[in-house]
Amino acid sequence: MAEITFTSEVGLTREDIAESGRLAEQEFGMEADPDQIQISEKTYDWIYNHIPDCLNVIKLKGEVIGHTFIIPCSEILMNKFLNKEITENELFEKIKKTVTVKNFETIYLCAAFIKSEFRRQGLASKGMVNSIKKLLSKRDIKPTLFYWAFSEEGKKLATKIAENVDLDLKGRLD
């Protein structure tokens, strides 16, 4: 696995964000679901300028094979989202206006995608854990992690990550 790199270790480029966005769209179909975060050049720019450590693009010999994405959040917004009072897209838009890497209280485990032939190697876990540790290095807090799982596999991944970083976990499975 020496040929596999993580942008949390080697640095994130604007093109990395765009490529991971294309993969995310193929996997999650956000464009057809207005409740999910909508991908656009504006979204890519915001991530690159405000939370670049939160997107961890995973590559094999320079080719993107997956990514993980976490988002710093507030407790109020987390609870509204988990109680289904706001959609994921509304959550993201509110976070962009109010939450920074300096004032977050919770962390949203937003997305993990690994191409099928590279799954079950711990890449998603490693990507998320690396990003969480980088984010936590900016603040001395013990935030709650939260997730929205589309599958039991996603729920298991969130649980594994929370155990790995010794943080509380809340979530919803739709």
- Each residue of 3-38: pLDDT tens digit? 999 998 888 998 999 888 888 888 777 778 888 888
Give the CATH number of domain 4-173: 3.40.630.30
Nearest to 50 by CA among 8, 2, 101, 84: 101
pLDDT digits (tens, 9 = 90+) for 26-74: 877 777 888 888 888 898 899 999 999 999 999 999 899 999 999 999 9
Cβ atoms 56, 8 nearer than 8 A: yes
**pTM to 2 decimals?**
0.92
Q: What is the pLDDT confidence band of residue 2, given thresholds at 50, 70 and 90? A: low
Spatial neighbors of 118 by CB under 8 A, at least 6 apart, are 58, 60, 65, 66
